[in-house]
């Protein structure tokens, strides 16, 4: 857990491809900005240009190019620029040259070759197409940096959710034989122990208030919007730490840019003769 001036940050759960974080005393609006930026403004590499010299498969060229573009690529941090001022973005060259000889052959993402060993398909077993005997592919691809705002293939995040922290108040002891509120909870987080109603996992509560509807005199559900629950699942082009760090950097940059523009407006208004 990390603490600051009146706020705290606690990681509730973490794996290689997902994370849950509790932000206390930080408005939901701020954390929601991080959610939006992580999904749509953190750049990654994805195949954008496809040059097909041979395609004997059952897929037409457009469908094949579309499937190739959706294959997530490992993206080295800060190695390639996003957006070139001269309109000539840096790119990574990849190729797919393969032929089925005497038997059917399934083409996988692992068959794609890259001229940069740090850039490669994240999931080798993604099926691209199946070739019949004698069929083949000869394709060159360019992967460039982009963002989820332009196309979902560039987004490093699959799911990202922010919501206020639930607040469940037990107003008084309930009848242990009733169990209406316990049975009403879709997340099964309410239990009765020794006649006392208890909450087993507060952060699983969705705030649906079905328990409160059943027993309004015994339980009250509210949302603390000064704190936030942040849950993210990633594709894998970048690590969770990299995505969050870049998201905060982008947000800070936006705030700095806003303040600069705002100060310019103030100066301009002061210069107007009255």
Across the 274 residues of the chain, what is the mean pLDDT of every consecutive 10-residue run? 73 93 87 94 95 95 96 94 70 95 94 96 96 96 95 95 88 76 87 82 87 86 87 96 95 90 70 60
* Res 263: pLDDT: 82
* Res 184: pLDDT: 87
* Res 104: pLDDT: 95
| Three-state SS sequence of 235-255 | CCCCCHHHHHHHHHHHHHHHH
Q: Under CATH, what is the fold of the domain 44-154?
A: RNA Polymerase Alpha Subunit; Chain A, domain 2 (2.170.120)
* Res 217: pLDDT: 84
3-class state of residue 104 by DSSP: coil
> Quick one: CA dihedral 102, 107, 108, 113, positive or negative?
positive
* pTM for the predicted model, two decimal places: 0.82
Distance between CA atoms of residues 147 and 237, nearest Å: 12
Alpha-carbon radius of gyration of the chain: 26
Q: What is the DSSP letter of 73?
A: B
* Res 271: pLDDT: 58
Give the CATH number of domain 2-41+158-233; options: 3.30.1360.10, 3.40.640.10, 3.40.50.2300, 3.40.50.620: 3.30.1360.10
* Res 211: pLDDT: 87
* Res 145: pLDDT: 94
On the question of a common fold for 2-41+158-233 and 44-154, the answer reads no
* Res 267: pLDDT: 63
Q: Identify any residues that bridge with 219 across adjacent strands, giving them in sequence order.
A: 170
Distance between CA atoms of residues 225 and 164, nearest Å: 5
Burial of 229 (0-12, 13-18, 19+ CB in 10 A): buried
Distance between CA atoms of residues 24 and 232, nearest Å: 17
């Amino acid at each position: 857990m990390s603490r600051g001036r009146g706020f705290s940050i606690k990681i509730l759960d973490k794996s290689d491809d997902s994370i849950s974080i509790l932000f206390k005393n930080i408005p939901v609006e701020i954390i929601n900005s991080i959610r939006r930026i992580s999904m749509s403004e953190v750049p990654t590499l994805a195949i954008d240009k496809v040059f097909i010299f041979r395609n004997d498969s059952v897929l037409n060229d457009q469908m094949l190019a579309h499937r190739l573009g959706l294959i997530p690529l490992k993206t080295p941090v800060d190695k390639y620029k996003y957006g070139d001022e001269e309109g000539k973005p840096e790119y990574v060259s990849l190729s797919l040259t393969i032929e089925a000889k005497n038997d059917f052959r399934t083409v996988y993402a692992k068959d794609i070759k890259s001229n940069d060993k740090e850039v490669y398909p994240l999931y080798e077993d993604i099926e691209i197409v199946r070739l019949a005997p004698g069929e083949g592919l000869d394709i060159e691809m360019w992967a460039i940096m982009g963002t989820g705002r332009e196309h979902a293939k560039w987004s490093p995040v699959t799911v990202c959710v922010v919501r206020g922290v639930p607040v469940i108040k037990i107003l008084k002891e309930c009848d242990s034989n009733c169990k209406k509120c316990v049975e009403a909870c879709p997340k099964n987080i309410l239990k009765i122990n020794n006649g006392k109603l208890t909450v087993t996992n507060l952060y699983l509560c969705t705030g649906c208030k079905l328990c409160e509807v059943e027993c309004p005199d015994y339980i009250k559900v509210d949302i603390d919007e000064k704190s936030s629950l942040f849950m993210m699942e990633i594709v894998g082009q970048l690590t969770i730490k990299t995505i969050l760090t870049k998201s905060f950097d982008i947000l800070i940059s936006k705030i700095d840019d806003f303040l600069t523009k705002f100060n310019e407006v103030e100066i301009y208004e002061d210069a107007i003769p009255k």
